[in-house]
């Protein structure tokens, strides 16, 4: 039996999308997920996302990293899923959906998706880095020589090292460009490599930079390897709320896999 898939990307962060409203996809088959995400023997992607029915909201998001394991929230994946839901006719221009970290609101217009992220209240400002959770855990640190920086090697060392160890964290390296703009490169756990973009990482960097006083703006531009994202937020009583991740989401191609 053949399974139809769609390939989407959001600033270079790419995903295999599958309409699983009929619940025909084997969600326990981690080897299949990893195979589909493999860039040499499969379709190739940073992750795989299932769109499923929800009793109350527009749809449910189920996200897998490219290693085949179900994972924490993926911001760019959520944005791409909103575009996919619009293509399927599940939504028009607005969406409310459930992901692993809870409820999300979103809107889409002219290929730009605005995705509301979770509130952030617990931020650890450590010596040399900031740690916070924006739906996924993120380590944020400055790196001036960011263009020539070995993100994969050093990112992996931080991801598996103290205080994160096996559970790990995503690792973001940042360079300030201006009062409201930052350059960002991210090592993603589960992918175990640098990705061209990370939505929860961009969100984490924007909030972290505001928290430590590197910007006073509440609309921050993030230049990632695959393009540009924006993050807006409000700060009330020590909690970052009304957090929005903003950027493009595009269909790359579609096809099918399996036996004819």
Q: What is the DSSP string of 165-232?
A: TTT--EEEEEEEEETTEEEEEEEETTTTEEES--HHHHHHHHHHHHHTTS---SEEEEEETTEEEEEE
188 carries a ligand binding annotation: yes
201 carries a ligand binding annotation: no
Catalytic-role residue among 198, 224, 246, 249: 198
The distance from CA 212 to its chain's CA centroid, rounded to whole angstroms, is 23
Catalytic residue flag (residue 37): no
Please tell me whether the peptide bond between 163 and the residue prior to it is cis, using omega within 30 degrees of 0: yes
> How far apart are alpha carbons 220 and 260 in whole angstroms?
48
Catalytic residue flag (residue 198): yes
Cα dihedral sign, 33-34-37-39: negative
CB 27 within 8 A of CB 210: no
Which is nearest to 77 in space by CA: 159, 239, 195?
Answer: 195
Catalytic-role residue among 74, 95, 191, 246: 74
Direct distance between the N- and C-terminal alpha carbons of the chain, in angstroms, rounded to an integer: 6
The distance from CA 180 to its chain's CA centroid, rounded to whole angstroms, is 21
200 carries a ligand binding annotation: yes
Strand partners, 253: 7
| Residue 147 CB coordination number (10 Å) | 9
13 carries a ligand binding annotation: yes
Angle between helices 75-88 and 199-211 (to 10 degrees): 130
69 carries a ligand binding annotation: no
Query: Which residues belong to the annotated binding site for substrate?
Result: 13, 65, 75-76, 170, 188-189, 199-200
Active-site positions?
Answer: 74, 198
């Amino acid at each position: 039996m053949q399974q139809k898939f769609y390939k989407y990307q959001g600033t270079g962060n790419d995903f295999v999308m599958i309409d699983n409203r009929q619940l025909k996809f084997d969600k326990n088959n981690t080897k299949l997920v990893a195979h589909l995400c493999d860039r040499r023997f499969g379709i190739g992607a940073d992750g795989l996302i299932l769109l499923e029915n929800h009793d109350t909201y527009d749809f449910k998001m189920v996200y897998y990293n490219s290693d085949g394991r179900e994972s924490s929230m993926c911001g760019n994946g959520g944005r791409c899923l909103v575009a996919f839901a619009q293509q399927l006719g599940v939504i028009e221009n607005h969406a409310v959906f459930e992901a692993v970290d809870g409820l999300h609101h979103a809107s889409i217009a002219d290929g730009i998706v605005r995705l509301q992220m979770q509130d952030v209240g617990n931020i650890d400002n450590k010596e040399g880095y900031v740690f916070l959770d924006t739906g996924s855990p993120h380590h944020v640190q400055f790196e001036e020589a960011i263009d020539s920086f070995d993100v994969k090697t050093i990112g992996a060392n931080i991801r598996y090292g103290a205080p994160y160890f096996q559970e790990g964290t995503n690792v973001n390296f940042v360079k300030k460009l201006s009062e409201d703009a930052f350059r960002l490169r991210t090592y993603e756990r589960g992918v175990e490599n640098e990705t061209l973009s990370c939505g929860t990482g961009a969100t984490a960097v924007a909030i972290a930079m505001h928290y430590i006083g590197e910007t006073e703006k509440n609309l921050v531009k993030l230049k990632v390897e695959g393009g540009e994202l924006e993050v807006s937020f409000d700060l009330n009583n020590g909690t970052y709320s009304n957090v929005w991740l903003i950027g493009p989401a595009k269909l790359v191609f579609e096809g099918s896999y399996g036996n004819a």
